[in-house]
Structure formats: C-alpha cells, structure tokens
Chain A
Amino acid sequence: MAKTYEEINEKIRQGKAVVLTAEEVAEMAKTASAKEIARKVDVVTTATFGAMCSSGAFLNFGHTTPGIRMETIELNGVRVCGGLAAVDTYVGATDCNPQNPTYGGGHIIEDLVAGKEITLEAWGKGTDDYPRRHVKTLITKDSINEAYLYNPRNAYQNYNVAVNSTGTTKYTYMGTLLPRLRNAAYSTAGELSPLINDPECRTIGLGTRIFLCGTVGYVAWNGTQFHSTKEVNAHGIPTSNARTLAVVGDLKEMSTDFLRGVYYEKYGVSLFVGLGVPIPILDEDLAQRVSIRNEQIETVISDYGDNYHILGKTNYAALRSGEIEVNGQKVRTAPVASLAKAREIADILKAWIQEGRFELSAPVRPMPTGTSVKPLEIRGFKDETGIQ
C-alpha cells in the first residue's frame, strides 16, 4: 500500500502524521516488518551536525551614496569575494586572513547569525556610475538586504574513518590524529544520517524542504563531488564518501545553536552545520531503507598520515563501541561530529511535522545518477607542488 506526498501532508495538516526519528524506527524494526512500518509510520526524521567546509553565505550590503563598485571586500579583516556585481559578496566558510588564521568565514557567518556588528571595508577603482573608492562601516544581518546560506557540499553520505600510522601527530579537519594509530576519528551520524536513510535519493532531490541551522531550508542542487556509483554493501549503503547535498536557507532566521564557526589547529576555519532531512515513508522499500541499523552501515578506515591509504573496513556499531581493530591493533575511537546535536535536530524536525508546521515537498528534479568524481590532472605545466 503506497502513500503519496499529498496524503502524508494532509495527515500533517490534521496533526495526525506518525513521525519517528531514524533511530526510533531502527529500534522499531527489530520487532516490526517493513510492511508494518510502511503502514504505521508516515515520516522519519534524519539529521547531522558536523563541520562542513564547503559552506558559505551570499550577502547583499545595499548601496551607499555616492555608490561604490566593491572590488576588494573585507569583513572583520577577512577578505571575501569581490567578484559579484557592486555590493554582493559570498563569504566562504574557510575564508581567512593568513595573519590571523583562527578567525574566518565560518566565524563571520556565526557572528552575523548572532546579530553581532561586523566591520565592512571595501575598495573600488571608482567608475562613472560608482565614483566612491572606499567605504568602511558597520553592518548586521538586519541592516543589510539578503543574507542566505548556500552550501555547495553538505551532508556527505557516509565518510571515512581517519587514523594516522606515522610517528607524528597530524592536525586535520578530522581533528587531532595521534601518532601510531592511537585514535580513530569518525564523523557520520550512522543510522541517523540523512543520506544513509534514503541511499538512492528516492525522496531527496531539488526542492526538498529540510531543517537547516535552526530554520527551514531547501535542497538546492546535488552537492559537489556527488558520487552516485560508489560501491555499496549488502544493505545498499556506499562504503565511503558518496552523495552530497547543496542546500540553501535564510541566514537571518538561523540560530547559533545549529551553526558554529570553528578553527582546526594548523588546518583552518570551517563551519559546523546542523541539517535535518525528513523522509516520507511512501512505501515498503523506503520503510526498509530507514530501518537501517549502525551495524549494517560500513565505512573504510583511511590513513591520513599515508596519503589516505585504506587500512580496512568497519561499521558504526563498532565505531560507537569505543574501540576498533586496525592492522591487528586495538584503536580507540571517538566521534568528531555531534550525535547529541544531531538527535536534537531530528527531534525538533519531528516536532515541527507533528505540530503541522512543516510539510514535505516532493523533489522538483531527482538527483543525478551515474556520476563519479574526477581527479584534477596536471597538464600543460611542470608539476611544482611547493610541498615543504
């Protein structure tokens, strides 16, 4: 017995929709069949809260009198994009001033969301229609025109586990990796993770309404490096980094509870993004998919000290037990993304739907299929790596 989006939305409007989080439905699946779940459950909420470097915000500052064509732009001393018309910019989460590497784009975005004042300084060459050559002023999210988050690559469908086999500590975006395999860092929310619960993106596509950093957002496109042909395990789950989402939402409505600028030692600035995706249980196949449990989700162990060399495979039940085995050695595990926060998001999204405040949208275009990720070849020039 299949359901339609409209039927589910009608139930949501009447406050009758049955909504569970992905962890709750995984628990239910221990005793209920996919058929029963499909009949009883309307929506399953999934979530993640982790560092997503490929994030950023579009801002429009408004025009001064006389006007300026901003060609070099700084926000709190951090250079941001000057290549968007006269008074638009894009603040990349990893933008930073090398003189002060611990504060950057991610922090500017957090400060904007928090309502703090930001120093805007910009320079232009002066044109006939925009004669001004310099401006310095204070802005807040309320003083400027649009401010929206547009993240080109979020919510990775699975991610590798990071270890370091070398003799020295490595500082990475997966955190501090201690020498000689003394820790293993993992970042995916396992059975709660969005793209794990709808691995082929049957219900997640362009226009899917989601939770983004405390407000309603949308899936805008397939994320960059969208890899839809990765090897899958017996449960249909890709065993490493695969699909991704590009998402968009109104920064002015967001909350710093679910968006944080961060700095990784010797790596740089990034942004913690909180994202929740509702999965409509349209049929038995989807009921089966959302029933996935941590032990059924596998991922590879990658040596960040040795060119991402794959050292083996593990699963999320093992990772959460606190210890895995790598090369015959027992290795302590720890997450580097927040499961506690992801659960909070899944619960909030669940409440929004139960209260009839959040309806589901069917994708206006499905995600692409048959895609893979190309490496960047060096050609036409001598390969000068500059590695020290």
Chain B
Amino acid sequence: MTQKIILTFPSEVSGDPIIYELIRTYDIKVNILKAEIQPGQIGTLLVELDAEEDKVEQAKAFFTSRGIATNPVSSRISYDESRCIHCGNCASACFAGALRITPPDWRLHFDPEKCIACKLCLKSCPLRLFSIEFSPLN
C-alpha cells in the first residue's frame, strides 16, 4: 500500500538524517513529494510511504519516537472548475491518472485519491487554474 503523510519536524531533529534511517531500518520505499526544511527550524515534509501496512505503522511509530508529528494528507491539489475549458493539457501531463478527460462527456474529471502531488498540472494548465495546498486531515 502507499500512504501520503505530512511530517512536521521540531527544530532539534530537522538536521538529522531521519529518512535515511527510516529506509535503512524499515525497508520502506519513501517518495519525497515536497520538502520545506531549514536546518535548525521547524520543517515539513510531504512523503509517500510505499510498504506493507504494518511497516507503515512501524514507520509512524518511529517518527513519533523522534518527536516528529505525522498527519495524513487531504487532497491538496485544486483547480478553478468554473474557468476550466476542458482542454486536457493537465490530464496529458498527469501520469498518475488523477486528472482525466474521458468519454462520454470529454470533460475534466479529478480523482484526488490518485494524486501524487507531482505538481505537473500546475505548470501544464494553460489557464493556470491549479493551486496546491498542504493541509493535514483531521
């Protein structure tokens, strides 16, 4: 399974090689989707963990033990539907299959579940209708 979570680092651990340790100890595929870390400050990291469910749980426990908050992520990509012209440029770029222009109506359909937050749609929409927001799920 894959799961996306936001990690919030307290300042004292944000210089540590946490991800390296995670990969080495738990053998988890980690995909870093977005990072905002300045050593010595609070940092946030959007990661996708790809492993068996129990390993993902172990990883979360590991994070907690290091004082790192883990939050599942809500759908962060959104677009201004009212201005969309259904041209398909975003769907063409979206290799994850979250954005699709499909029959019978050939209008844009967005499945946030499939979004991997690669941000290609932000650049690919010729009307610049996309925005991204990282908000933890409650």
User: Looking at A51, A185, A260, A340, which has the most chain B CB atoms within 10 Å of its CB?
Assistant: A340
- The A153-193 residues at the B interface (CB cut-off 8 A) are 171, 175-176, 178, 182-183, 185
Given A335-B88, A338-B88, check contact A263 B93 (CB 8 Å).
Answer: no
- Note all chain A residues with C-beta closer than 8 A to B105: 340
Judged by a CB distance under 8 angstroms, whether A28 is at the interface is no
- Note all chain A residues with C-beta closer than 8 A to B93: 175-176, 178, 183
Given A262-B126, A320-B103, check contact A337 B87 (CB 8 Å).
Answer: yes
Judged by a CB distance under 8 angstroms, whether B89 is at the interface is yes
The answer to whether B89 and A175 touch across the interface, beta carbons within 8 angstroms, is yes
Judged by a CB distance under 8 angstroms, whether A332 is at the interface is yes
Task: Specify the chain A residue showing the minimal Cβ separation from B94.
Answer: A334
Task: Specify the chain B residue showing the minimal Cβ separation from A262.
Answer: B126
- Note all chain A residues with C-beta closer than 8 A to B92: 175-176, 183, 185, 334-336
The answer to whether B86 and A340 touch across the interface, beta carbons within 8 angstroms, is yes
Judged by a CB distance under 8 angstroms, whether A207 is at the interface is no
- Chain B residues with a Cβ under 8 A of chain A: 85-89, 91-93, 95, 100-103, 105-107, 120, 123-124, 126-128
- Chain A residues with a Cβ under 8 A of chain B: 49-51, 102, 171, 175-176, 178, 182-183, 185, 260, 262-265, 270, 272, 320, 322, 332, 334-341, 343
The answer to whether B123 and A272 touch across the interface, beta carbons within 8 angstroms, is no
The answer to whether A334 and B91 touch across the interface, beta carbons within 8 angstroms, is yes
Task: Specify the chain B residue showing the minimal Cβ separation from A341.
Answer: B85
Extra pairs beyond A183-B95, A341-B85 (16, CB < 8 Å): A102-B128, A171-B123, A175-B124, A175-B126, A176-B92, A183-B93, A185-B92, A260-B127, A262-B126, A335-B88, A335-B106, A336-B92, A339-B86, A339-B106, A340-B106, A343-B106
- Note all chain A residues with C-beta closer than 8 A to B87: 49-51, 272, 335-338, 341
Q: How far is the CB of A323 from chain B (nearest CB, A)?
A: 12
User: Looking at B87, B89, B102, B105, which has the most chain A CB atoms within 10 Å of its CB?
Assistant: B87
- Note all chain B residues with C-beta closer than 8 A to A340: 86, 105-107
Given A178-B95, A265-B123, A320-B103, check contact A336 B86 (CB 8 Å).
Answer: no
- Give Cα A338–Cα B123 distance, bound, in whole angstroms: 18
The answer to whether B95 and A262 touch across the interface, beta carbons within 8 angstroms, is no
The answer to whether A334 and B101 touch across the interface, beta carbons within 8 angstroms, is yes
Given A335-B87, A341-B86, check contact A263 B107 (CB 8 Å).
Answer: no
The answer to whether B127 and A176 touch across the interface, beta carbons within 8 angstroms, is no
Task: Specify the chain B residue showing the minimal Cβ separation from A49.
Answer: B85
- Give Cα A279–Cα B15 distance, bound, in whole angstroms: 68
The answer to whether A337 and B95 touch across the interface, beta carbons within 8 angstroms, is no
Task: Specify the chain B residue showing the minimal Cβ separation from A337.
Answer: B87
- Give Cα A264–Cα B123 distance, bound, in whole angstroms: 8
Given A176-B124, A265-B124, A334-B101, check contact A182 B95 (CB 8 Å).
Answer: yes
- Give Cα A188–Cα B137 distance, bound, in whole angstroms: 41
- Give Cα A212–Cα B27 distance, bound, in whole angstroms: 59
The answer to whether A176 and B85 touch across the interface, beta carbons within 8 angstroms, is no
Q: How far is the CB of B100 from chain A (nearest CB, A)?
A: 8
- Note all chain A residues with C-beta closer than 8 A to B123: 171, 176, 265
- Give Cα A67–Cα B123 distance, bound, in whole angstroms: 44
From A263, A272, A332, B85 is in contact (CB under 8 Å) with: A272
Q: How far is the CB of B99 from chain A (nearest CB, A)?
A: 9
- Give Cα A272–Cα B107 distance, bound, in whole angstroms: 16
Closest 10 CB pairs of A and B: A262-B126, A334-B92, A176-B93, A335-B88, A340-B86, A339-B106, A175-B89, A265-B123, A176-B124, A338-B86
- Give Cα A55–Cα B128 distance, bound, in whole angstroms: 21
- Note all chain A residues with C-beta closer than 8 A to B88: 175, 185, 334-338
- Give Cα A332–Cα B120 distance, bound, in whole angstroms: 16
